[in-house]
Chains A and B, each alone.
Chain A
């Protein structure tokens, strides 16, 4: 499956969006259907989610892919 984006730095935007919705990593993970560890690793930039998982997170947090996962080319 296609990975969403190559992430090498912390995903602050995802963390901010999650906090906006007053959700813990575990709660977001449960809503999306993944483990808490996976959300933690995505926020840390240590795991590249698939496009499918990116979309599931975006739909849960009412955000677009651009809002949460876009990074300008280095």
Chain B
């Protein structure tokens, strides 16, 4: 008997080591998925159908981590620790990253359009500017929504959750 009896002491070394292995395993899965996406882009024709599984794993993993860390109140603690140690706040870094990603994608699409479809220098420049500007207008707001607004919403949710766990304000001081 006693099969379902909760033991008072666990072997924490084993539990912690297992958690460490799980964390490493997650990184390994991300690396394999990312490598698979890159390789498939060269092997197959461009398109999402070949890489949809890898993208689902990458995106779902990120979303799950964000949701769980916000729900458990860890997200806001991470931001607090980051902002304490770093010269740039997390919010500022996210904003710069969003702009950087938006610009890189716009340039990539612009160059691709100019090289693939334009004839002559003047048309290349025109296609480049047109596509790059159009892409920037589309992707910049998307990245800002995902990284800046998403992060801020997750932080607020995390703060609400941790405040619930900590109870009244008089506990803090």
- A residues whose Cβ falls under 8 Å from a Cβ of B: 1-3, 6, 24-26, 30, 34-38, 40-41, 43-44, 46
Number of inter-chain CB pairs below 8 Å: 45
* Contact between B172 and A36, CB atoms less than 8 A apart: yes
Q: Are B80 and A44 in contact (CB under 8 A)?
A: no
- Categorize the interface residue count of chain B: 10 to 19
> By the criterion CB–CB under 8 Å, are B173 and A25 in contact?
yes
Q: How far is the CA of A38 from the CA of B84 in the complex (A)?
A: 15
> Chain A residues near B78 (CB, 8 Å)?
35
Identity of the chain B residue whose Cβ is nearest the Cβ of A36 in the assembled complex: B80
A40 & B77 in contact (Cβ 8 Å cutoff): no
Chain A residues within 8 Å of B173, by CB: 24-25
B9, B13, B84, B166: the one within 8 Å of A40 (CB): B166
Contact B16 A37 (CB under 8 A): no
A residues in contact with B73, CB < 8 Å: 37
B16 partner residues in chain A, CB cutoff 8 A:
1
List residues of chain A with CB within 8 A of the CB of B8.
Answer: 6
Residues of B within 8 A of A (CB): 8-9, 12-13, 16, 73, 76-78, 80-81, 84, 162, 165-167, 171-173
Which of A6, A37, A38 is most buried by chain B, counting CB atoms within 10 A of its CB? A37
Q: How far is the CB of A52 from chain B (nearest CB, A)?
A: 12
Contacts A25-B172, A30-B84; A37 near B12 (Cβ below 8 A): no
Q: Is the CB of B12 within 8 A of A3?
A: yes
Q: Looking at the assembled complex, report how far the CB atom of A32 sits from the nearest CB atom of chain B, in whole angstroms.
A: 11
Please determine whether A1 and B84 come into contact, CB atoms closer than 8 angstroms: no
Do B171 and A44 touch (CB < 8 A)? yes
Q: Smallest Cβ distance from A72 to chain B, in angstroms? A: 15
- Could you say which residues of chain B place their CB within 8 Å of the CB of A46? 165
Give chain B nearest CB distance to A55 CB in angstroms: 16
> Which partner residue on chain B sits nearest A48 by CB separation?
B12
Specify the chain A residue showing the minimal Cβ separation from B81. A35
Listed A/B pairs (18) with beta-carbon separation below 8 Å: A1-B13, A2-B13, A6-B9, A25-B172, A26-B172, A35-B76, A35-B77, A35-B78, A35-B80, A37-B73, A37-B80, A37-B165, A38-B77, A40-B162, A41-B166, A43-B171, A44-B165, A44-B171
